[in-house]
Amino acid sequence: LGDSGFAQLDGAPPSKIAIVGAGIGGTATAHFLRQHFGPEVHIDVFEKGTVGGRLATVTVNHQDYESGGSIIHSLNLHMQDFVKQLGLKYRKNVAGKTAVFNGEEFILEETDWYLLDLFRLWWRYGISFIRLQMWVEEIMEKFMRIYKYQGHGYAFSSVEELLHSLGGSGFLNMTHRSLSESLLELGVSQRFIDEVIAPVMRVNYGQNISIPAFVGAVSLAGAQANLWAVEGGNKLVCSGLLKLAKANLIQAQVTTISPHAAGESTQYQLNYATLTEKGSEFYDIVVVATPLQSSVGSGISFQGFEPQLPDIAGSYHHTVASIVHGYLNCSYFGFPDPKLFPFASVLTTDSPGLFFNSAASICPVNISTGFRRKQPQEAGVYKVFSPQPLDKPALKTLFRSYYSVQVTDWQAYPHYGSTQDLPPVVLHDSLYYLNGIEWAGSAMEMSSVAAKNIALLAYHRWSRQLEMVDQKDLMHKIKTEL
């Protein structure tokens, strides 16, 4: 970075950049592009829906609750850094006990006693849980290398190159091999996989243990104890980053992107539409920060590319988040007296006939004003994840009575297994695609890592510093640079 705090660019900087999508991926890209290209470049961010995208809240009884992306890992350093730079506050997970339900009874119950829980785990599963812990720690340690690489300015032209630089072919294989196969090989017992791992995959990705091992590890990291969220709602990061980047938000749907030769380089024409009017603009660099799978329906068509851009394969997984204000039916879980029901979260096994993945008492996004988790005998706010919307009988099974139900049917994350391909990052000379990273693992931090990577990649490709792209043996290189 130069004296101004911005990177120094040899040659003419780009004059206009467009980003399609104002979720965490698009807004973080705007922020990082501003850091790298400096104050002069004009950055437009197009959003057809709401800033935040899959980070969203719903209001119940004058309080807001996360209905999409809700938890952040303590080692998610980009998210941490955004919160600091934006002057936002952390919201710590309010402790509460978890149990696993198999449709008939609880097969695993957390207690108030850590040592007792450890003993029970050892008794039921042997050392499987220690093996698992070590496996997740090792993956996290390797994943954290990305912050070093990005701190030194290195970029990757594909998700494959990025993963390979972090953990070699072992990491790449983890995007193809199933979680269950990898864990069995590690010596984790089938019983532990069915009773502990499967419930975690169901709550976090609505899918089963055949999902790839890499996203499985991300999901397990998301079940650790050291989680947090943003006071006021995670989506505040997105609106904050747009402001920090001095980006211009255009509330419109991008409908077509087409290339136009401009001297030695290419410009891209974006056509867009609001409810009332249509518009068109030219840009030097374009970043698409929304899933392009046809089932998600971004509505973007790529026209005039020679050869045509490849179709982006795969589909997204539906997860329904129902935020219910009411009284949990503890009898259904075998506790006729709600005062004796000790759990804040109920996870479920992959049992036939179970109509929900998880049900948890949740906290509002503003807890600095004081929050006490409601007892099950009181009316509380619960989040239920299910593959289908809950019908009346399902609601009546889970809740004795309820005041309100708010349903969001998310195209939530990749349907892992619907394709073996990791989508490309570079679609054309200066046209980039962010959401391919979700096929390694879908999480706020993954989109943030992809955002930083695309900003660096776009910068190095623009300034023709190709030695900063796809460098091999980076761990060694960085050590010797110091």
Residue 360: which of ligand FAD, ligand LLCL4O7M, none does it interact with, CB under 5 to 8 A by kind?
A: ligand LLCL4O7M
> Is residue 413 a contact partner of residue 231, using CB atoms and an 8 Å limit?
no
Residues in Cβ contact with 12 at an 8 Å cutoff, skipping those fewer than 6 apart: none
In this complex, which beta carbon is closest to ligand LLCL4O7M, that of residue 27 or of residue 271? 27
Output the six-digit token pair for 193.
Answer: 């996989």
Figure out which of the listed residues 157, 182, 207, 298 binds ligand FAD, where binding follows CB under 6 A.
298
The rounded distance, in Å, linking the Cα atoms of 388 and 391 is: 9
Per-residue mark of binding to ligand LLCL4O7M, 204-243 (x: CB under 6 A): xx------------xx-xx---------------------
Say whether residue 253 binds ligand FAD (CB under 6 A).
yes
Q: What does each C-alpha distance from 29 to 78, 151, 184, 290 come to in angstroms?
A: 12, 15, 38, 12
From the list ligand LLCL4O7M, ligand FAD, none, partner contacted by residue 298 (C-beta under 5 to 8 A by kind) = ligand FAD
- φ and ψ of 327, to 5 deg: -110, 120
User: What gap in Å lies between CA 61 and CA 78, rounded to an integer?
Assistant: 33
| Contact partner at residue 319 from ligand FAD, ligand LLCL4O7M, none, CB < 5 to 8 Å by partner kind | ligand FAD
Specify whether the CB–CB gap between 357 and 202 falls below 8 A.
yes
Q: Cβ neighbours of residue 54 under 8 Å, at least 6 residues apart?
A: 23, 24, 68, 69, 410, 412
Contacted by 203, from ligand FAD, ligand LLCL4O7M, none: CB < 5 to 8 Å by type = ligand LLCL4O7M
Cβ neighbours for 371, distance < 8 A, ≥ 6 positions apart: 94, 363, 364
Interface positions, 357-386, toward ligand LLCL4O7M (CB under 6 A): 360, 383
* Stretch 327-346: interaction string toward ligand LLCL4O7M, x if CB under 6 A: --------------------
Looking at 52-60, 97-105, 191-199, 278-286, which segment touches ligand FAD (CB under 6 A)?
Answer: 52-60
Pick one of ligand LLCL4O7M, ligand FAD, none as the site partner of residue 253 (Cβ within 5 to 8 A by kind): ligand FAD
DSSP annotation string for 268-298? EEEEEE-SS-EEEEEESEEEE-S---TTT--
Q: Identity (one letter) of the amino acid at 107?
A: I
CA distances from 363 to 239, 327, 369 (A): 22, 15, 12
Q: Which of 53, 364, 414, 436 binds ligand FAD (CB under 6 A)?
A: 53
From the list ligand LLCL4O7M, ligand FAD, none, partner contacted by residue 24 (C-beta under 5 to 8 A by kind): ligand FAD
Q: How far is the CB of 143 from ligand LLCL4O7M (least distance, A)?
A: 5
The site for ligand FAD (CB under 6 A) is made up of 20-26, 46-49, 53-55, 68-72, 253-254, 289-290, 298-300, 319, 321, 410, 412-413, 435, 438, 442-445, 447
